[in-house]
Amino acid sequence: MNIENLRAFVTVAETLNFRKAAEILYLSQSALSRQILELEKELGTQLFSRTTRSVGLTAVGETCVEGAKEIIRGWDAMRAQAIRSDVRKAGRLRIGVYGARSLYYIIPAVERLRREYPEIEISVIRDEAELMYQKLLYGENDFISSIAPKLADDPTVEKLVLVEERPSVLLPQTHPLANRECVAPRELEKERFITHSKKKSSSMYDKLMEIFGKEGVAINVVAVEDNDKSGAMKILMGEGIGLYPSVWPEVPQGTVMIPLECDNRPFARVVAWKKGKLNGVRQLFLTVLREELKKMDGKED
């Protein structure tokens, strides 16, 4: 039995809302639904009654909640003991990160681990997205954090969703479209664009270009800038507008982020790791990361 499937069951049972439960667990709704279906298949019974408007526990589901909570408490206590034993032997964490916004979510957990477990050797490596992804597959990284369409579709890795981000444009506050709630790609066909380089993250670059291609818009890229702050400065100087897949934690003063009006699903910024590759130190990192994310989101109990 997968303990995370049980954790998913209890969270949905407590919220009776798949969207809220997915946010609490830092999962996509599709991943959460898959976990519930796996558990129901394993138990041979339906735990929830679902309609398009509501979610409720079945009679069997109601009888299972307390038992599931007890199993989770026992598992967490046993895992905590194993982690303490493993950490005493010292360990190493190699975390690949692409983009300042990924660092924003990762660094609080890294700093806490360094304070509380100085015996763990932690390396945070900023790298190109595609190279970082390959290093994860070949075991050179324990975790990576990025937005990458390949990660979303790769069945060999597990993911914790940090945030879902909409394809957006970064505009000066003086731009005629700056007060809009969203903007259509076709409205931007005469604009000058500043983008991240294709070399740094080819899959993300291609995905953003695809959004405009579907609308028959060929964008005019006048500058490539992988440093967000430098790119924002060029935007403020009137050299162009930015194209980002982002929820920017601190949008630079003098600019606004406007979502693109398009049919594309959000980009998931994730922490990813290889399936079946979680030793005690890696489990500890995920535990601390979830706790720090809850603090940032104001979800502390």
CA 58-61-67 angle, to 5 degrees, is 165
The pair phi, psi for residue 243, each rounded to 5°, is -125, 115
Separation CA 153–CA 132 (nearest Å): 16
Q: What percent of the chain has pLDDT over 70?
A: 90
The residue-averaged pLDDT of 263-268 equals 71
How far apart, in Å, are the Cα atoms of 193 and each of 169, 224, 235?
A: 9, 9, 9
Q: Looking at the domain that runs over 3-87, which CATH code has it been given?
A: 1.10.10.10
The pair phi, psi for residue 219, each rounded to 5°, is -80, 150
Choice between 225 and 286, residue whose per-residue pLDDT is larger: 286
The residue-averaged pLDDT of 141-167 equals 82
Q: Please give the structure tokens belonging to residue 118.
A: 């100085």
Separation CA 178–CA 112 (nearest Å): 38
CATH topology of domain 167-259: D-Maltodextrin-Binding Protein; domain 2 (3.40.190)
DSSP string for the chain: --HHHHHHHHHHHHH--HHHHHHHHT--HHHHHHHHHHHHHHHTS--EEE-SS-EEE-HHHHHHHHHHHHHHHHHHHHHHHHHHHHHHT-EEEEEEE-SHHHHHHHHHHHHHHHHH-TTEEEEEEE--HHHHHHHHHTTS-SEEEEE-HHHHH-TTEEEEEEEEE--EEEEETTSTTTT-S-B-GGGGTTSEEEE--TTT-HHHHHHHHHHHHHTT---EEEEE--SHHHHHHHHHTTS-EEEE----TTPPTTEEEEEB--SPPPEEEEEEEETT---HHHHHHHHHHHHHHHHHHT---
Do domains 3-87 and 90-163+268-301 share one topology? The answer is no
Tell whether the model's pLDDT for residue 301 goes beyond 50. no
Tell whether the model's pLDDT for residue 18 goes beyond 70. yes
Separation CA 273–CA 271 (nearest Å): 7
Separation CA 187–CA 258 (nearest Å): 13
The residue-averaged pLDDT of 265-272 equals 82
Report the pLDDT value the prediction gives residue 37, as an integer from 0 to 100.
Answer: 93
Q: Out of 3.40.50.2300, 3.30.300.30, 1.20.1050.140, 3.40.190.10, select the CATH number for domain 90-163+268-301.
A: 3.40.190.10
Q: Work out the mean pLDDT of the chain and round it to a whole number.
A: 85
Tens of pLDDT, residue by residue over 22-33, are 888 878 888 899
Tens of pLDDT, residue by residue over 20-72, are 898 888 788 888 999 999 999 999 999 999 887 889 999 999 999 999 999 99
Tell whether the model's pLDDT for residue 165 goes beyond 50. yes
Sign of CA dihedral 167, 252, 125, 224: positive
Tens of pLDDT, residue by residue over 207-251, are 788 888 888 888 888 988 877 778 888 988 889 998 877 666 667
Q: Where are the domains of the chain?
A: 3-87, 90-163+268-301, 167-259
Q: Please give the structure tokens belonging to residue 165.
A: 């981000």
Report the pLDDT value the prediction gives residue 83, as an integer from 0 to 100.
Answer: 66
